[in-house]
Structure 1
Amino acid sequence: MHVLLIANPESTTQTEELFRRVIPQLMEIEDLRLEARFTHYAGHAEEMVQGMTREDFDVIIPAGGDGTVNEVINGLLGPADGDVRPHGELPALAVLPTGSANVFARALGYPADNYAAAQMLVDLIREKSTRTITLGTWKGDEEQKRWFAVNAGFGIDAEVIARVERARSRGFAASPLLYLQVSVRAWMKAQLHPPQISVQATSTDGEEMSHKDVPMMLASNTNPWTFLGPLPVVTNPGNSFDSGLGLFGLTSLRGFGGVAAMMHLIGVGHGRGIEKLIAKRTIIFDDAEQVLLECRSGQRFQVDGEYEGKPTRVELESIPDVLKVFAPHEVPLPPTMSWPRHAAKYVRDFIRVRAV
């Protein structure tokens, strides 16, 4: 088994201790040959893997967050406008999560703690535990169609990502406090000047959905949609890597109902009373195959946690059975699991892996 590890030598989250744990264990796997290459600028990982086939490497391990995973996926699969390369011809993907969120890895079933996730990665490769997953594509205005693995959308999430990127470029760390401050500002801006997003969607079984001038619309390829630290944010409980895209929107952000709807979005307030209050404000559409988003009010757009400018029109599509990944075959993540239980699992993994 020929394995390529891609890492960023300048990353502050990819510690020597983590690699000292992972690399010796990988090298102990029978018939495994490991090669490491380093990225030096944004987009380098994508360039590095372009055109690679199973004859080059059996497995590619991107060490990083969702942005790095996105680069590797787009490099391997190439432009989404053309014919999709059969996954049997491509190297399988095994993620070593070292980013700040790692939504893709955690939705696949990796633990929240990076060291525990690294141990799982080694075990999965040793056991050759793989599955084939669905990916999304997006095309904005005149841009080339590209792949995404996690989520995409106009609205508050894209505003938060753009503001955090700006703060990081000025030397601020991407801490939970920074995200909280930026989120509050984005929320206030949306109150004064709410986005006007129109959406049309068709599911894999032909069902259609259409809404106009909604202030928030998300498309997710995963469940959970994202995470707040160790805590999952579930928008579409029925969504998974085996189905189409899950769409979640809010028809209004104003008043107490708007606050309740946003709290519901991050997993707070799932009682009957709150559910009844926000029922008329939420848009949930599962297993979407084709999606058209239009936003002519100059709003930001994000893909896999990366700011992608202000397109006025974005086409999304779900493509099944595209990529082979190393992951557990079953991901036991009940949507009703409470935040305290998730936090307890995170603390448990954190203690266990450091006690080794």
Structure 2
Amino acid sequence: MADVRVLMISNPNSTSQNDRLFRRVVPLLRQVDGLHLVSRFTHRPGHAEEMCRGLTRDDVDLVLAVGGDGTVNEVVNGLLGTVGGDRPDPRAVPAVAVIPTGSANVFARALGFPPDPVAATESLVDLLRRDLRRLICLGTWNDRWFAVNAGFGIDADVIADVDRTRDQGFAATPLRYLQVGVRAWYRAGRRPPHIDVDAVSAGGERIELTGVPLLLASNTNPWTFLGPLPVVTNPRNSFDQGLGLFGLTDIRGVRGAASVLHLVGFGHERFPASWINRRIVQFDDASSVTLSCPRPQQFQADGEFEGEMRRVHLASIPDALEVFAPEEAYPARHRNWGQILRDLVRIY
């Protein structure tokens, strides 16, 4: 390939980032002929967005995010700017690539990169040599962008609680997400959110819901990962179509608990799924979504807590960003209970 100028933006606070990793990753990148690498570290929340703001391909060909989904979110918002203005040509702003060093790394893994950062770098080196890139859809919420998912309800409560545990010095492990999720379900069961949903698909289909306690929108498939486990809510979803919506109409009682566990990957076998499917709402290829609540609810985007809001407008923007990505997506497989238990034992 021709000379390529790469700006590598690294979040030193991400889960698996350290000096030893860079001693392995940087030499791999330098094996690409014609690659010119400039490395910068973020110093505070929002710093990656500041560094990317206003960049064009006259400045740099590729922004390489070394971090998790939050770092990717900042890079995307910096490159594309505020939603609602003149949207930049995706081939006029730098392309984006990711080396995953966060806790979940949904964006990178959904694109098809392995979760190990060194293996992901090896894959990226091959992609750079072959110049394999593609355009993907992105989501928006109000005047900002998201790459992975966004939502009101229990998932946002979980993100807020995990942020608080991180501030106290605890790691964001899959087990901690599960523990926090159970606590969030218990709190929500006593005073469930009431979210009104009005969504339209790219094909003109419409869905209207009143008073659901949980609603999330995903731009990826799977919508998240529980350690090594891909969690699928909308099997048809992809980076090539609109948002996939997943909601629960009732979270009370034993079936409500089972429905919430379904959200984080448990109970996809025939019996549990049939037991709770009347409480589940799925809607694919949404192009426009309005979420509103009678009282402020916590809201998250790309795994980052964004505050409490009463109304949020979501949309899907086709061909919004050019990325380097493997040809085949990361396999999103449903797993049976035996596989889940074996994987959890392997994690802990």
State the shift of 1:15 in Å: 1.6
Distance in 2, Cα, partners of 1:343 & 1:322: 39
Distance in 2, Cα, partners of 1:343 & 1:38: 38
Stretch of structure 1 that moved more, 172-181 or 274-283: 172-181
The answer for the alignment partner of 1:118 in structure 2 is: 121
SS in 1 for 2:170: coil
The answer for the alignment partner of 2:132 in structure 1 is: 129
- Summarize deviations over 1:295-352 as a string: whole Å, max 9, x none: 223321100000111110000000000101010122152544557779999999x9xx
Checking the alignment, whether the CA contact within 8 Å between 1:245 and 1:286 is kept in structure 2 is yes
SS in 2 for 1:291: strand
Residue from 195, 199, 206 that aligns with 1:197 = 195
The answer for the alignment partner of 2:243 in structure 1 is: 245
The answer for the alignment partner of 1:353 in structure 2 is: none
**Structure whose residues are more often strand by fraction:** 2
The answer for the alignment partner of 1:150 in structure 2 is: 148
Stretch of structure 1 that moved more, 329-338 or 98-107: 329-338
The answer for the alignment partner of 2:206 in structure 1 is: 208
Residue from 157, 160, 171 that aligns with 1:159 = 157
Distance in 2, Cα, partners of 1:13 & 1:313: 35
TM alignment of 1:1-356, pairs within 5 A: 1-9=4-12, 11=14, 13-139=16-142, 145-331=143-329, 333-336=331-334
- Summarize deviations over 1:241-280 as a string: whole Å, max 9, x none: 0000000000001122212222322232223332322221
For 2:74, the aligned partner's letter is E
Distance in 1, Cα, partners of 2:54 & 2:229: 37
SS in 1 for 2:283: strand
State the shift of 1:22 in Å: 1.6
Calculate the aligned-residue CA RMSD, in Å: 2.2
State the shift of 1:125 in Å: 1.7
The number of equivalent residue pairs is: 344
Checking the alignment, whether the CA contact within 8 Å between 2:114 and 2:330 is kept in structure 1 is no
Checking the alignment, whether the CA contact within 8 Å between 1:43 and 1:71 is kept in structure 2 is yes
Stretch of structure 1 that moved more, 295-304 or 219-228: 295-304
- Summarize deviations over 1:173-195 as a string: whole Å, max 9, x none: 32334323322211110111111
SS in 2 for 1:329: coil
SS in 2 for 1:308: strand
Distance in 2, Cα, partners of 1:242 & 1:166: 34
> CA 1:75–1:332 in 2, change beyond 3 Å: closer, same or farther?
closer
Checking the alignment, whether the CA contact within 8 Å between 1:22 and 1:122 is kept in structure 2 is no
Distance in 1, Cα, partners of 2:290 & 2:319: 22
SS in 1 for 2:278: coil
State the shift of 1:47 in Å: 0.5
Aligned-residue identity in percent: 58
Checking the alignment, whether the CA contact within 8 Å between 1:154 and 1:217 is kept in structure 2 is yes
**TM-score, normalized by length of structure 2?**
0.93
**TM-score, normalized by length of structure 1?**
0.91
Distance in 1, Cα, partners of 2:173 & 2:268: 27
Checking the alignment, whether the CA contact within 8 Å between 1:52 and 1:91 is kept in structure 2 is yes
SS in 2 for 1:94: strand
Checking the alignment, whether the CA contact within 8 Å between 2:11 and 2:66 is kept in structure 1 is yes
Stretch of structure 1 that moved more, 188-197 or 329-338: 329-338
For 1:110, the aligned partner's letter is F
Distance in 1, Cα, partners of 2:275 & 2:344: 32
The answer for the alignment partner of 1:354 in structure 2 is: none
> CA 1:159–1:288 in 2, change beyond 3 Å: closer, same or farther?
same
Distance in 1, Cα, partners of 2:95 & 2:344: 27
- Unmatched tracts of structure 2, length 5 or more: none
Distance in 2, Cα, partners of 1:177 & 1:346: 9
For 1:66, the aligned partner's letter is D
Distance in 1, Cα, partners of 2:63 & 2:344: 27
SS in 2 for 1:312: strand
SS in 2 for 1:295: strand
SS in 1 for 2:158: helix
Distance in 1, Cα, partners of 2:154 & 2:322: 32
